[in-house]
Amino acid sequence: METWEGLPSVSLVPTNSKAPQVKMSAQDSCLSLIKYLLFVFNLFFFVLGSLIFCFGIWILIDKTSFVSFVGLSFVPLQIWSKALAISGILTMGLALLGCVGALKELRCLLGLYFGILLLLFATQITLGILISTQRMRLERRVKDIVMETIQNYRSRPEESAAEESWDYVQFQLRCCGWNSPRDWFNIPSLISNESEVHRVPCSCYNSSATNDSAVFDKLSFPQFSRLRPLARPRHSTDLCVVPANSNIYNEGCARSLQKWLHNNLISIVGICLGVGLLELSFMTLSIFLCRNLDQVYDRLARYR
């Protein structure tokens, strides 16, 4: 009787004590892997955000070099540089939340990180739905803005950021006007009392069709400086125009923009899907780590 009574106590102890330890070790390894994956990915985006921020600040400090290189004038370039700097700061802040929350296993930071990512993801989905459902309304709104910019072209030289940006769009897309070059024919600032020939901005000029140096000498804006070796400084009173019967682009920018979107549709959709999947992956990792931290702590305290 004594031998049978002692056997159960000896044989049951090792079988009941090893299983939880093995299970706990496997779960700890999985959580450690998730933790360091989240940390490394967010560290990469922190570095990326800092580079974007530094690039935006660099543009603000050294605007003159970028004006001649990129082709934008000072005002639009300043707007883009501030947008880059703000985007870099936001990226750095979000990545810092993920890094510290994952490395230090802080549930509050991981929860905040998940919440911000969820808000960004929901905003992107909402914008995508609005763009797809309100496409015609959006196109009309863009057309109204462009036509207003064309109608007020150079009427207020001190407020020319939108007009210079539109010049840059025409120059890059190789187009003229929204529907056609005729959009420029009745613009007050382009009408000449000395000639009945219609005139259009120099951004409509097709530089690849001719090497007319007389036209190149008129190109005084920074965004056209690539057409000739030396561009003289831009002044607020300068107005660069060419006759409408010269070598200008005959296609409207509405059609050119549609062609550009059609040619780059796969790239745009791929980038959007990639960003969305990346955000979903980070959200999944962060919420999984956040939800399982308490269970690990309780299990460690129980078997300590």
Query: What residue ranges do the domains of the chain occupy?
Result: 27-104, 134-208+241-303
Q: In the chain, which residues have pLDDT < 70?
A: 1-27, 63-76, 157-159, 193-196, 209-238, 294-304
Separation of alpha carbons 196 and 168, rounded Å: 27
Least Cα distance to 149 among 136, 137, 160, 135 occurs for 160
Instruction: Report pLDDT for 194.
Output: 64
104: Cβ contacts below 8 Å, ≥ 6 apart: none
Q: Is 201 left (phi over 0), alpha (psi -120 to 50) or beta?
A: beta
- Which one, of 242, 263, 224, lies nearest residue 73 by Cα? 224
CA-to-CA dists, residue 13 to 191, 218, 298, angstroms:
99, 94, 22
CA-CA distance, 80 to 38, in Å (whole number)?
Answer: 30
Please list, in sequence order, all residues whose beta carbon lies within 8 angstroms of the beta carbon of residue 228, skipping any fewer than 6 positions away: 213, 216, 217, 219
Contact 243, 92 (CB under 8 A): no
> Quick one: tokens of 212?
């007319």
Contact 303, 120 (CB under 8 A): no
The contacts found for 145-153 with CB under 8 angstroms, 24 or more apart, are 146/178, 146/253, 147/178, 147/183, 150/177, 150/178, 150/183, 150/184, 150/187, 151/187, 153/184, 153/187, 153/189, 153/190, 153/201
Give strand pairing partners of 199: 243
| CATH code for the structural domain at 134-208+241-303 | 1.10.1450.10
Tokens of 75: 């005002």
Q: What DSSP string runs through 25-62? A: HHHHHHHHHHHHHHHHHHHHHHHHHHHHHHHHHHHHHT
Q: How far apart are CA 251 and CA 180, in angstroms?
A: 6
Q: What are phi and psi of 251, to 5 degrees?
A: -95, 140
DSSP string, 255-299: HHHHHHHHHTHHHHHHHHHHHHHHHHHHHHHHHHHHHHHHHHHHH
pTM metric for this prediction: 0.69
> By the 8 A CB rule, do 289 and 38 touch?
yes
